Chains A and B, each alone.
Chain A
Amino acid sequence: MSHKVIVPIGPYHPLQEEPEFFQLYVEGEKVVDIDIIIGYNHRGIEKLAEAKHFDQVPYLVERICGICSSSHPYAYVLAVEDLFGGEENIVPERALYIRTIIDELQRIHSHLLWLGLAGHFIGYNTVWMWAWRYREPVLDMFEMVTGNRNNYAMFKVGGVRRDIRDEDIPALKKTLDELVPALSMFKGAVMDDPVIQARLKGVGILTKQQAIDWCVVGPTARASGLNMDVRRDEPYGVFDRVDWNVIVEKDGDIFAKTIIRILEMYESVGIIRQCLEKLPKGEIDADIKDIPAGEGIGRVEAPRGECFHYIKSDGTNRPIRHKIRAPSYMNVASDKVAAVGGTISDATITLAAVDPCYCCTERVAVIRKSDNQKIMNGWDLIKLSHEKTNKIKEELLHGRP
């Protein structure tokens, strides 16, 4: 099928350079190259951190990305606690359990969010609505425990800032119990639906060697057969005291990434349940006063992969250097090989498969390589993706023509 020239929609004058996040160069229907332009969300956080006290930094780093709101502060406090020789040396038991619970609740909400967006991108708006509907009780739990649906302000050097009250635990358990049937529904919907399989299997493949060369992390890496997970490789919190599995797939396509995220949610529910059972009584904060000089590195497994923080301290009350590396930094760059070679209708779901932030994926432009004419924006791409799903539904319903 030859690709018709699409009349530019909107005031897209070729001379008007609207900066887009992803620029896809196409020939016909195939994506032949991709430019990834980042920096729109760059707010100079590393520099700002140098001007803040150690105990003010968690509030800053929480807002690096709204979705992994607890991963960045956790990695940061681990980096500072590394100066003392590690989390287990100074953080009280109960705080370790609470940290783990918050971290895993966050993973559930983040994966549900992704599931919803992925559903939206391929045209299953019902999946979107249902995934986000089941996300709401998880956010309610956050609000109950921490006071906010997002941006929890739970982590501080030496412990956590708020406790989980005994009277809240039954509500937490109930939410988890109600979540499991929903997860089973999603799992069945994804694994059994032939249209979803046709859309996601074999699409956006990142081979194992590509995954190694591009140094990707998280579900993106595990989908390509790389068995890595910071929670197991370098345990923090109480991940080495509860039973859980690392989910690895080998096909490297979007279907593999989807399966991993769904199965990880089951694991998260299991981890939280075990933590709630084992939650010991005790202090939640070691009340650290002085930060020693030195260098510290902290890393956690955020929903998107390894989140890394490095701190250099000179013994004063501010960091002299704070390096932050979010997981999407490595994963988004790999789109260069994952999206190229695919079709434009698969572009949005391929770009979304590494789970970048929503803002990034909404700013996509498609440019026809032969004459540099911009032909589509992100919304058009989503429409195209929906059309492909409908076409596949038709074919499966009425048999192949």
Chain B
Amino acid sequence: MRERIKEKLGPKIKEWHEHSARRIYFTVDKKDIFETVRFIFRELGMRFSTASGSDTPDSFEILYHFSNDSSGEFYSVRVFIEDKANPEIDSITPLFPGAEWIEREIWEMLGIKFKGHPNLKRLLLADEWPEGEYPLRHKNES
């Protein structure tokens, strides 16, 4: 599996880290995420487990987690979104509907816009929740 990913994605992979036999993390540019996910989901047939977004001092970071159920390996694709003032990335929901909710959640929690998402509206927060306030962003924490 790793060979297939490395072969197909080649130079798109910015960094590859194997934390253990079953934990593989690799980084791609955010512009390549749609193609990467399409490859992993459609061609390699891995299951999308979830995505986790975080706020770091330099950028936003999203990890897309995929499970290779037949081998127990877990692949996490990392992207960095450097433009913190206007964060956006392509949505992967057009590839499969299972991604719809998590992208909505990351949007309302961190404010990252998913371009091409068919239904980008609030999922968990109440309608009265103030616009522009993103609960999972770190505010001036020392």
Contact = CB atoms under 8 A, between A and B. Distances in A.
Do A and B touch each other in the complex, judged by CB within 8 A? yes
Interface of A: 38-39, 42, 44, 46-47, 82, 85-86, 212-217, 226-228, 233-235, 294-295, 297, 299, 306, 308, 310, 312, 320-321, 323, 325, 329-330, 333-334, 336
B5 interface: no
Given A85-B20, A323-B50, A214 B65 contact: no
* Contact-residue bracket for chain B: 35 or more
B49 A215 contact: yes
Contact of B23 (A227, A297, A306, A323): A297
B106 to A, nearest CB: 10
B39 to A, nearest CB: 16
A233 B72 contact: yes
B125 A39 contact: yes
Contact of A310 (B48, B63, B72, B96): B63
| A contacts with B: majority SS | mixed
A370 to B, nearest CB: 23
Nearest to A333: B101
B47 A46 contact: no
Nearest to B70: A233
Given A39-B124, A39-B126, A297-B65, A214 B98 contact: yes
The 6 lowest CB-CB distance pairs between A and B, nearest first, are A215-B98, A323-B52, A234-B72, A39-B124, A325-B50, A42-B124
27 contacts: A38-B123, A42-B124, A42-B125, A44-B135, A212-B47, A213-B97, A214-B96, A214-B97, A226-B69, A228-B69, A233-B69, A297-B23, A299-B49, A299-B74, A310-B63, A312-B54, A320-B54, A321-B52, A321-B54, A323-B50, A323-B52, A325-B49, A330-B98, A333-B98, A333-B100, A333-B101, A334-B98
A309 to B, nearest CB: 10
B2 interface: no
B62 to A, nearest CB: 11
